Amino acid sequence: MRTRIKICGLTRAEDVRAAVEAGADAVGFVFAPSSRQVTLDDAARLAAAVPPPVARVGVFVDASFEEVESAVRVVGLTAVQLCGSETPEFCSGISVPVIKASRVGTAFAWTALEPYRGQAAAQLLDTYVSGKMGGTSKTFAWNDIGESPGWASLFVAGGLTPSNVAEAVRAMRPFAVDVSSGVESAPGLKDPSLIAAFCAAVRAVDQEVYR
């Protein structure tokens, strides 16, 4: 067993290269409005430099079905991450695996995710911040939400950095961890040394947790 790593919010070729060279299992391209948003053309150019088996994930917030499927075709996405109010039926209709994001706040309950079981390939937990649908740079209380009820493909996001990702893995033992701002020198600009440090921290804690 090992924890998969997704480096999200890539906007430059050098950032894609740094993620791949550090051993990331997936890279993410954000199509929703943010400092990390890329166009379809830019994402297609960046994705062309991503070798298999590294996954190419498109990140959307309440985009239309047609917009998501167009990005899948144009960019060559191998998965999509849906961070809005997309329904289970919407998720099940997408032509590639779906990672459905949910936000963890004080009222979080695992039962809220149940309608997506079998409709989304994976669940991603991010931190609830009012008015934001992701990219919060805030962690949630990993030890306080209870054990995942059978979600084999669980992603943990929200405020992860090279210095705290080991704690998150110990607490939740997720299928994958997802980082964006925690490996940046400025919004949308990744730092190769932080990417390498993040990946190294995950590999090190895996040796401890799964030995």
Measured distance CA(85)–CA(64) in Å, rounded: 11
Amino acid found at 105: G
Q: Does the active-site annotation cover 126?
A: yes
The catalytically annotated residue of 8, 83, 91, 199 is 8
The catalytically annotated residue of 15, 83, 91, 126 is 126
**Structure tokens belonging to residue 151:** 């979600």
| Ramachandran assignment for 39, one of left (phi > 0), alpha (psi -120 to 50 degrees), beta (any other) | beta
What are the backbone dihedrals phi and psi of residue 185, each rounded to the nearest 5 degrees, phi first?
-95, -20
State the helix-helix crossing angle for 192-209 and 165-172, rounded to 10 degrees: 30
- Find residue 122's DSSP bridge partners: 99
Please identify every residue annotated as catalytic: 8, 126
